[in-house]
A and B are shown apart, each in its own frame.
Chain A
């Protein structure tokens, strides 16, 4: 973009190349941290509003206009809160755990193409990198559960591990199904292919099946209801973050919402053409890409919230049966059908 180009040139004229590039990286990181915080806070607000709507309540409406500043106030409260912890916890791991969760979320967010040019890190293994990064996040949850020295936290962490390892397969395979059509793992390439129709249209039936599997598995990966066994309040208190308070709790809480944003963003990028407008109506205004990207992402996030406030929670055995006996075989079959379709040229392209 023009602004970033100007800043880039200004920085390099001001200082030697090495320092300038480091400063540039730091600036980009700060910008992304900002996006991270704002997105996290407002997704929490959105969740509460949607929940209220589904339950015929008003939801937060006191702080700021229509309660828009509510989550800001909550965040300030959490920052100023005293950090309490148990004496018998493993302090080093206890303090380390939230950072695993939050850093992996932050790394994943840097990959998404918000517009053609607004993308921090366009690596050639894009989607694979996303899957790799998201598989590390679960370590934070396992550590948090174990180091708290609390049986509820431990059970929550174990469940989370089981759940994430199982559903990662489905996420990976359903994305692989779509990659068959693009022939590239790079996110910018994947968007490029979709200029001839979004992938969910190009791949029609198998693509829709892949999308449904992806949404189910994605919801499970973010540990949200109906798959929120990790923090099932009625059985486990607050699950793996029972012993966390103040800002450390907020890290877990924010990371959960950012993970939801990441899952929705991957879906937007892979299935719905990322920043591309429908039928190319605003193709000559590239800056509107952010708008389209966010609209699509928010629609998918709304779908996930809809799941949460509609379906009752699954039991742990039901959860595993769903993955290993239904989703995985279905996914493998879908992969083969998609491969045949691509081979025979049955995809729809405009």
Chain B
């Protein structure tokens, strides 16, 4: 049962990933990408990591894709189609993809993966405690660094968004 679900998900993801890069309409590519991301969320659900799956849905499917769609809406018209790439570029991309895939498959087939016997669902509580604990194995430092990074990004966005207005106000003060 789980195997079947996995193969269905994998098929959807591969097909839409290829469709995403080969489609000539920009918004369609974005939607195929959305299917790939939802597929990843499906895989997380399959391995019983619900929290990560929901994060995947909110952040990638709900957040980033919506932003991408927004930018497409602003710059792109429905009748426009993307240009076809030159043949030499196509060949180059194909070769680099094949090298990447080869490396990937080589690692997967040579590495000796261990099957985890006692799989259990990670609860939100455990994640929260892990994030905020300062004992060994705690993630308090990365957590704080990320929050400062986000704060900086937000302030930066406000500065860019306000632009001229902000400096003008400063002058009057």
Chain A: residues with CB nearer than 8 A to chain B? 18, 21, 88-90, 92-93, 96, 123-125, 128-129, 131-133, 135-136, 138-139, 142-143, 145-147, 149, 154, 157-158, 161, 165, 168, 183-185
For the complex, what is the distance from the CA of A165 to the CA of B70, rounded to whole Å? Answer: 11
B115 CB-CB contact with A under 8 Å: no
B117 CB-CB contact with A under 8 Å: no
Min CB–CB distance B3 → chain A (angstroms): 11
For the complex, what is the distance from the CA of A124 to the CA of B122, rounded to whole Å? Answer: 9
Select one of B1, B62, B78 contacting A146, CB under 8 A. Answer: B78
Q: Is the interface of A mostly helix, strand, loop or mixed?
A: helix
B58 touches A131 (CB 8 A): yes
- Please give me the residue from chain B that is nearest to A131 by CB atom: B58
- Please give me the residue from chain B that is nearest to A21 by CB atom: B1
B1 touches A18 (CB 8 A): yes
User: What residues on A are CB-neighbors of B51 within 8 Å?
Assistant: 125, 128
Select the residue from A124, A138, A157, A161 with max chain B CB neighbours within 10 A.
A124
- Please give me the residue from chain A that is nearest to B70 by CB atom: A161
User: Which of B23-31, B83-91, B94-102, B136-144 binds A?
Assistant: B23-31
A93 touches B27 (CB 8 A): yes
A147 touches B78 (CB 8 A): yes
A149 touches B57 (CB 8 A): no
B63 touches A154 (CB 8 A): no
B40 CB-CB contact with A under 8 Å: no
For the complex, what is the distance from the CA of A133 to the CA of B58, rounded to whole Å? Answer: 7
The interface bits of chain B over 2-35 (1 if a CB of A lies within 8 angstroms of the residue's CB, else 0) are 0000000000000000000000010110010010
A185 touches B124 (CB 8 A): yes
B46 CB-CB contact with A under 8 Å: no
A139 touches B34 (CB 8 A): yes
Min CB–CB distance A12 → chain B (angstroms): 14
A136 touches B61 (CB 8 A): yes
B69 CB-CB contact with A under 8 Å: yes
B172 CB-CB contact with A under 8 Å: no
B65 touches A139 (CB 8 A): yes
Min CB–CB distance B26 → chain A (angstroms): 10
User: What residues on A are CB-neighbors of B27 within 8 Å?
Assistant: 90, 93, 143, 146-147
Min CB–CB distance B65 → chain A (angstroms): 6
User: What residues on B are CB-neighbors of A142 within 8 Å?
Assistant: 66, 69-70, 73
Chain B positions 125-156 with a Cβ under 8 Å from a chain A Cβ: 125
3 closest A-B pairs (Cβ-Cβ)? A135-B62, A132-B57, A132-B58
Min CB–CB distance A133 → chain B (angstroms): 7
Select one of A89, A90, A129, A161 contacting B28, CB under 8 A. Answer: A90
User: Can you list 26 A-B pairs, Cβ within 8 angstroms, ordered by A?
Assistant: A90-B25, A92-B28, A93-B27, A93-B31, A96-B31, A125-B54, A128-B51, A129-B50, A131-B58, A132-B54, A132-B55, A132-B58, A135-B57, A135-B61, A135-B62, A135-B63, A136-B62, A138-B66, A139-B61, A139-B69, A142-B69, A142-B70, A161-B70, A161-B73, A168-B62, A183-B125
Select one of A92, A149, A161 contacting B66, CB under 8 A. Answer: A161
User: What residues on B are CB-neighbors of A145 within 8 Å?
Assistant: 73
B79 CB-CB contact with A under 8 Å: yes
Min CB–CB distance A178 → chain B (angstroms): 15
B167 CB-CB contact with A under 8 Å: no
B123 CB-CB contact with A under 8 Å: yes
B78 touches A135 (CB 8 A): no
A90 touches B54 (CB 8 A): no
Select one of A128, A136, A149, A168 contacting B78, CB under 8 A. Answer: A149
Select one of A93, A133, A154, A185 contacting B57, CB under 8 A. Answer: A133
B62 touches A132 (CB 8 A): yes
User: What residues on A are CB-neighbors of B61 within 8 Å?
Assistant: 132, 135-136, 139
B121 CB-CB contact with A under 8 Å: yes
A139 touches B50 (CB 8 A): no
Chain B positions 38-67 with a Cβ under 8 Å from a chain A Cβ: 38, 50-51, 54-55, 57-58, 61-63, 65-66
Min CB–CB distance B133 → chain A (angstroms): 17
User: What residues on A are CB-neighbors of B50 within 8 Å?
Assistant: 123-125, 129
Min CB–CB distance A192 → chain B (angstroms): 15
User: What residues on A are CB-neighbors of B73 within 8 Å?
Assistant: 142, 145-146, 154, 157-158, 161
User: What residues on B are CB-neighbors of A168 within 8 Å?
Assistant: 62
A143 touches B78 (CB 8 A): no
For the complex, what is the distance from the CA of A18 to the CA of B31, rounded to whole Å? Answer: 32
User: What residues on B are CB-neighbors of A143 within 8 Å?
Assistant: 27, 31, 69
For the complex, what is the distance from the CA of A88 to the CA of B55, rounded to whole Å? Answer: 36
B66 touches A124 (CB 8 A): no
